[in-house]
Structure 1
Amino acid sequence: MASTQDSFASIQQTVLPGTITFKVLAALVVLYLISYPIYAIYLHPLSSYPGGTLEKLTRLPYWIACLKGNQVKFMQEQHRRYGPTVRFAPNDLSFTEAQAWKDICLIPKGKKENGKEIRFHAPSANGTPNLITEPSPVRHATVRRVFSPAFSEKALKQQEPLFQYYADLMIARSRKKGTVNMAELLNWTTFDIMAEFAFGQSLGLLEKEAYSEWVATVFNTLIVLPALQMIQFYPLSRKLFALLEPKSVAKMRLDHFNHTVSRVDKRLKEGSPKPDLWNLVEESGILTSGEIYTNAELFMTAGTETTASLLTGTTYYLLKNPDKMKILTDEIRGRFKSNKEMTLEALSQLEYLNACLREGLRVYPSIPSAIPREIAEGGNIIMGKWLPGGTRVSVHQSATYRSPSNFKNPDDFVPERWLGDPTYKDDIREAHQPFGVGTRNCLGMNMAWHEMRLLLSKLIYNFDMKTEVDASWRDQNVFVIWDRKPLPVTLVDINAPA
């Protein structure tokens, strides 16, 4: 009998603590499931901001929209339902008001900068930050000063032969075609320009009329950008991905980065008589080798697809608004008598051209989503309200530019709104900031403007264009940037013999 009692007591000592532990854990889980929604909805520092109940509890609706390519539609709908400020995730706010650009992106006096949300950007293969992802304001300013001379107006004047060469090559290749896919043609051109600028050597895409394997990889990986963002967002998934990343994927990322490394090394070793990037930056030894490589890689992505995307979208809207296309065509052909007369300086003075491009940047922005910032430690005031450090904030470009509170007839392509048309006198033009605001705005903004004016003008000067594409072309997925559909355009050479 005693042995039986001893055995029972032993079982109690073994099983009961485990049972208690399980009950405690279960109780804690239940307590969390009950208390977290109460906290998130009613007690969280952002509880006073409007937004959907599910969105206040979890980031999952936003991630699903991103993975499906519906992020822009999701955010536009959030703002339509809840107004100019929306809490679209537990710790995320989106704004569509002009003042938000300044509050988020400028550095308040006596306060710290609201830094870039690093997890939004895919990490470089060598782990070194670039101009976008550099977390230190001091180091960012130092690196930016090194590159700034290469993007100055003086430098752009020196680089004009490079731009003119590829613009003319684009026209020459187009003359051999009856119909071109404008999305491809503009990509080939912008990648060739930037490759010669950053590497001292073209990729030869216009010559081959095809993407290189390296450039094709860039586009093939666009669709997975939201998935990479989601993985980077959570510490556990980040660690698991580092352990479980397929070797083929790791090799692809490394090969892509090494392509940049080999081209930069070749350019720096051989030198170049042309006024390219490396002849125009300060040779001060400030940059590390890692910074040289990651920023060259950045220029090849940020300075190519974005420009081609804007030009493709603007071309579409011009073709679908023939009255606007006629005004622009008359301006360009009335001003110039030959391709040689179309200098960067002369093109910058064309008012309607500038208005068309700016309107293109509104209805089809190169970055249609948002680039989030994180409120600095100690908190900052955004739109008149204090926000705690760590809060993620952003101005969503598409939602802002299509807001009727900012722009009259927001879905219409109306270049005249930038030229003083009284119908649009109440438009809030300061809400339109496609190149960003403050010390971290787009370094290549001036270069992009010259490139956009030159390429669009030469196409319009040399060809009459038409397309059969209907309004469904505008219904595109967004994976951080546009997943552009082909834009077939028929080109009629106006200089061809009758």
Structure 2
Amino acid sequence: MMGSNFLALGYGLLAFVAIVLARIIVTGVTCPIRHVPGPWYTRFSHYVLKLYTLTGRRMYHVHSLHQRYGPVVRISPTEVAVADPEGFVAIHKIGAGFLKGPWYAATNFAPEPGIFAMVDPKKHAKRRKLFARAFTSASLRQNWGSVVRNKAERAVERIKADAINGTADVLKWWTLMATDVIAHLSFGESFDMLELGEKNEYIKALESVLVMVSIHNELPALYHLARLLPFKSIQNVLAAQDAVDSHASKAATNLRRNGPSANLFGNILAESEADEKSELTKDHIQAEAGNFIVAGSDTTSITLTYLVWAVLKRPDLQARLEEELAGVDDEFDDAALERLPLLNAVIDETLRLYGAAQGNLPRSVPPGGATLGGYFIPGGTIVETQAYTLHRNPDVYPDPLRFDETRFLNPDSVTRQQKQLFSPWGAGTRTCLGVHLARMELRLATAIFFRNCRGVRLADNMTDNMMEMQNFFLISPVGHHCDVTLR
């Protein structure tokens, strides 16, 4: 009896393996993009790509495929990576019909999708129009300039105190600063993490949700299996979404109670309620507030960290930047900093090489298909571009791996193609809504840091290997810290 059971189990396993192999073979033989250059295995399976994604190496993997196979390369049976400049423009051109791919919808765990995850271009345009006025440079400077400056000053105070006594981790303090800023603007309340010196429970829960989203996107079967397992550590991660929703719900309630000037959503909500066709629900506000926290914290802190690292590796550049900033009036504001050529050139070159969103921007090819880089790509195929490769194109940016701030010192010398491919904030109509806020934070934090910490240097323990980028949608240093000292 037992033998027959084992025999049945064996036949079952063989049948399962046979079915899997048959599916793989059929996928490879019928692959609609098999004519596009790429490794042989990308015709049959997407699991190699998923492995690189889950290990934080996706952008390097795709970049290496471009170097081997060219500007248009097959990376899975249903995905094509495009680094061709004309192809990039065609994909992200306004009205081109390349909509955000299903990956974005899969990132949304909220009851309603936020502006980041919206696929429908009409709904996105309507929501973006509602938010646009609050995110202009003029509005941000008038309403929030002092808030951003105060938090940047406090962050630099904490960095300086640590650096005088030993070493300071700028990644830690920039992260707390950027999160306090966007929390204040989104929720109307500071998380006070700069004072606490650590992340609060909401941010820890949000980070757990991001891990959950990554697993759900790449290995959905594993995600659903994990939900069934009784392990406390797994259940805590899964419960993190409830904590995030609870805090966002509280913030949405406080928004209506505190009035229109309490945060960014105040006037947006007032405008929405004046127009019955565009009213924001509580679910909408929860989704957008959570999105803003994610988009406005790590992006800014990572860019600032790499900026400090890149400048401190070049003492000549550090001296010139400190000299330029020393000449600014003590009561400077963001408008004054925007006029400083070296400061802004350093920021742009940092964004080129180390902008936080260096990875893939997936789009779905319109139903009629499209020709990109000389290859016809069928409708429904996912095409992606990545800033990591575009910003390292030697035909567009000579000596692309060198940090060279002079590329951006003279705006008139920046070529048309360099402007087209410069995409640290995304591209087309889906360019980051908070670009002006991010630039304000980058300018103010950089200026205050190099004015108040003159002579700062990288700590002796820092190595280039520690600052190698890992890529989980956003980039971050593999060492998870960047230490500086004033001793």
Query: TM tier, shorter chain?
Result: 0.7 to 0.9
**Cα offsets for 1:298-333 (capped at 9, x unmatched):** 001101110111111111111112222222112111
1:100 to 63, 87, 100: 87
Cα shift at 1:244: 6.4
Conserved? CA contact 1:407–1:424, under 8 Å: no
**Cα offsets for 1:71-107 (capped at 9, x unmatched):** 1221121111112111111111112233233211224
Find the aligned partners of 1:175 and 1:457 in 2 and give their Cα distance. 14
TM-score where L is the length of structure 2: 0.86
Cα shift at 1:463: 0.8
**Cα offsets for 1:52-81 (capped at 9, x unmatched):** 001222111111111222212211211111
- Range moving further from structure 2, 278-287 or 25-34: 25-34
1:39 to 9, 30, 47: 30
Give the match for residue 180 of structure 2: 192
Find the aligned partners of 2:36 and 2:266 in 1 and give their Cα distance. 48
Larger Rg: 1 or 2?
1
Conserved? CA contact 1:313–1:360, under 8 Å: yes
Cα shift at 1:417: 1.4
Change (3 A) 1:240 1:270: same
Change (3 A) 1:451 1:216: same
Find the aligned partners of 2:78 and 2:290 in 1 and give their Cα distance. 31
Residue identity opposite 1:300 in structure 2: I
Q: Does 1:332 align with 2:332?
A: no
Matches within 5 A, 1:397-476: 397-420=387-410, 428-464=418-454, 465-467=456-458, 468=460, 469-476=462-469
Change (3 A) 1:425 1:284: closer
Residue identity opposite 2:123 in structure 1: R
Q: Does 1:164 align with 2:149?
A: yes
Residue identity opposite 1:167 in structure 2: A
- Range moving further from structure 2, 465-474 or 345-354: 465-474
Residue identity opposite 2:152 in structure 1: A
Find the aligned partners of 1:117 and 1:90 in 2 and give their Cα distance. 15
Residue identity opposite 2:430 in structure 1: R
Cα shift at 1:491: 3.8
**Cα offsets for 1:377-436 (capped at 9, x unmatched):** 333343454422211011112122223233222211101112359999798442221112
CA RMSD of aligned residues (A): 2.9
Aligned residues: 458
Change (3 A) 1:430 1:250: same
Residue identity opposite 1:116 in structure 2: K
> What are the ranges of 5 or more consecutive residues in structure 1 without an aligned counterpart?
1-22, 493-498
Percentage of matched positions with identical amino acids: 24
Find the aligned partners of 2:362 and 2:148 in 1 and give their Cα distance. 32
Give the match for residue 18 of structure 1: none
Find the aligned partners of 1:221 and 1:25 in 2 and give their Cα distance. 33
Find the aligned partners of 2:348 and 2:113 in 1 and give their Cα distance. 31
2:190 to 184, 202, 224: 202
Change (3 A) 1:247 1:102: same
Find the aligned partners of 1:426 and 1:106 in 2 and give their Cα distance. 15
TM-score where L is the length of structure 1: 0.84
Residue identity opposite 2:62 in structure 1: M
Conserved? CA contact 1:371–1:395, under 8 Å: yes
Give the match for residue 115 of structure 1: 99
**Cα offsets for 1:284-307 (capped at 9, x unmatched):** 232122111101110011011101
Give the match for residue 239 of structure 2: 251
Find the aligned partners of 1:472 and 1:368 in 2 and give their Cα distance. 18
Find the aligned partners of 2:398 and 2:20 in 1 and give their Cα distance. 50
Find the aligned partners of 1:123 and 1:488 in 2 and give their Cα distance. 33
SS in 2 for 1:372: strand
Matches within 5 A, 1:127-142: 127-142=111-126
Residue identity opposite 2:74 in structure 1: R
> What are the ranges of 5 or more consecutive residues in structure 2 without an aligned counterpart?
1-13, 274-278
Matches within 5 A, 1:374-389: 374-383=364-373, 385-389=375-379
Q: Does 1:490 align with 2:479?
A: no
Change (3 A) 1:25 1:238: closer
Find the aligned partners of 2:214 and 2:352 in 1 and give their Cα distance. 23
Q: Does 1:176 align with 2:167?
A: no
Matches within 5 A, 1:209-228: 209-220=197-208, 222=210, 225-228=213-216
Cα shift at 1:438: 1.7
Find the aligned partners of 1:35 and 1:219 in 2 and give their Cα distance. 39
Cα shift at 1:356: 0.6
Cα shift at 1:271: 2.5
